[in-house]
Amino acid sequence: MHPRFSDFAEHLKARRLAPNTLTPYLSELKRLDKYLDAEGILLEDFTLQQATHYLVREGRSSHTARRTLTVVNQFLSWAGHPLAAELGAMRQPRAYTPAPDYLSDAEEAALRKTLKARTDLKCQARDRALFCLMLDTGIRVAEVARMTVGDVNLDEKMIRLVAKGDKKRTRFVPVETRDLLKRIVGSRPAEEPLFLTWKERAICDRHIRRLLNQWAELAGITRPVHPHLLRHTFATSLLRKTNNLRLVQVALDHESPKTTAIYSHVADEELRAAIESRRD
């Protein structure tokens, strides 16, 4: 890899971006480095025409093209490349953002019921607390994996977490989930990871994904289920109950309301239902 790409990759890692953000960025850098090498283009001679060809090649989707343009422009700006200004002025391709997938009310109820029915083992009690916490707060899988015992403040009815971008945040936890956390916290040291594997190690993202799939299968959910689906489920449910997109934005820690706008599917569903029932 070109030294400037390697330096920028280290710069991104030093920013401690979330893995789901960092991994695509690094992949884009590797692809661009490979493209320049294959085409025999020196980085300092990279032109707007060549950059445009790179952005639209191989039938990229509009979403991927937008991400690529963002990463390439950030790299060139960091490197002080004159092409950065031209790319910055380029209109980004429009991306179609589908409505987020989430658990239906029946699926969520089945998952909670299954978790509640199997708590005899220590790991089962842990799993119930873990997934109910995610369903009731909308926190990300990386955030919950980083939590320590000291991040749980049952007196204040809150948890502390390190959110995306290393931001310190707090979240309110409803009473039933607080009770579940109380059982697994006990008198453990504050610095100990909140959720542990059976080997007494901090649980990781991959482990959480595997556990969730197992519990979803036990609950009779026949489609793939991933942790971010729980976040979407929380946001969808909150918006239905409050009809307040701003509250959802705050709850999810979105900096821009445009990010939260993906949950407008709730309003669309209610509009369809209203139209259907208008003549009833």
Q: What is the residue-averaged pLDDT of the chain?
A: 83
Q: Does residue 268 carry a pLDDT above 70?
A: no
Q: Does residue 133 carry a pLDDT above 60?
A: yes
Q: Does residue 98 carry a pLDDT above 80?
A: no
Residues 6+ away with beta carbon under 8 Å from 222: none
Q: Does residue 178 carry a pLDDT above 90?
A: yes
Cβ burial of 134 (10 Å; 0-12, 13-18, 19+) is buried
pLDDT in tens, 181-222: 999 998 899 999 999 998 889 999 889 999 999 999 999 999
Decide which of 232 and 278 is more confident: 232
Question: Tokens 């390190």 map to which residue?
Answer: 162
Q: What is the DSSP string of the chain?
A: --HHHHHHHHHHHHTT--HHHHHHHHHHHHHHHHHHHHHT--GGG--HHHHHHHHHGGG--HHHHHHHHHHHHHHHHHHT-THHHHHHTSPPPP---PPPP---HHHHHHHHHHHHH--SSHHHHHHHHHHHHHHHH---HHHHHH-BGGGEETTTTEEEEEEGGGEEEEEE--HHHHHHHHHHHTT--TTSBSSB-TTS-B--HHHHHHHHHHHHHHTT--S---HHHHHHHHHHHHHHHH--HHHHHHHHT-SSHHHHGGGGHHHHHHHHHHHHHTT-
Confidence at 32, pLDDT banded by 50, 70, 90: confident
pLDDT in tens, 224-239: 898 989 999 999 888 8
CA separation for the pair 151, 166 (Å, rounded): 15
The torsion angles phi and psi of 153, rounded to 5 degrees, stand at -120, 90
Q: What is the pLDDT of residue 53?
A: 74
Q: Is this structure's pTM higher than 0.75?
A: no
Q: What is the pLDDT of residue 96?
A: 47
The torsion angles phi and psi of 12, rounded to 5 degrees, stand at -65, -45
